[in-house]
């Protein structure tokens, strides 16, 4: 009997979203903590590094949720190498919810990934207020100085 892991549901949701938008991947490397995919489209080739959090944390303000993503030393090393390789790189972040169909998907582009790496952090916090059209990437200094990440990105 083949048992499904929690990670399968989150990574599968990302793949399903991309498939439904005509984007087909090739798995490069996978595990419970992350998945790395290469994609070829009519417009460009890109690498997608995906991580997930199965649940977020409700903030003090009503309707505000945040998710903290932790990166291993190996994750950081690989992300830095992908940037050096000058590939189109995106970081897909699955922001889980106890009610799976309320989970959300955020994508950071290479320039935003660079900012996280330059801050020498081993984790990043992504938040979103109910009804907001963007996520907020905290790079220090709270929500007011956070970077806005459009919520409609796929890659």
Q: Span 6-150: which CATH code? A: 3.40.1350.10
52-64 confidence digits (pLDDT tens): 999 888 876 677 8
Quote the pTM value.
0.87
Domain boundaries defined on the chain: 6-150
96-122 confidence digits (pLDDT tens): 887 888 889 999 999 999 999 998 888
Closest CA to 47 of 93, 92, 2, 89: 89
- Answer yes or no: are the C-beta atoms of 48 and 110 closer than 8 Å: no
Distances (CA, A) of 67 to 29, 42, 61, 128: 24, 33, 15, 9
Q: For residues 121 and 80, what is the distance between their CA atoms, to the nearest angstrom?
A: 13
């Amino acid at each position: 009997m083949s048992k499904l892991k929690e990670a399968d549901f989150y990574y599968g949701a990302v793949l399903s979203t991309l498939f439904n938008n005509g984007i087909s991947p090739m798995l490069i490397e996978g595990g419970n903590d992350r998945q790395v995919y290469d994609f070829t489209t009519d417009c460009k080739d890109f690498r997608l590094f995906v991580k997930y959090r199965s649940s977020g944390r409700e903030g003090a303000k009503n309707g505000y949720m945040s998710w903290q993503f932790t990166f291993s030393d190996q994750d950081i090393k690989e992300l830095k190498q992908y940037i050096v390789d000058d590939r189109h790189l995106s970081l897909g972040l699955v922001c889980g919810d106890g009610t799976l169909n309320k989970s959300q998907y955020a994508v950071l582009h290479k320039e935003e990934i660079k900012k996280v790496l330059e801050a020498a952090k081993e984790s990043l916090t992504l938040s979103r207020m109910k009804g907001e059209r963007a996520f907020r990437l905290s790079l220090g200094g709270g929500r007011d100085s956070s970077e806005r990440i459009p919520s409609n990105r796929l890659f």
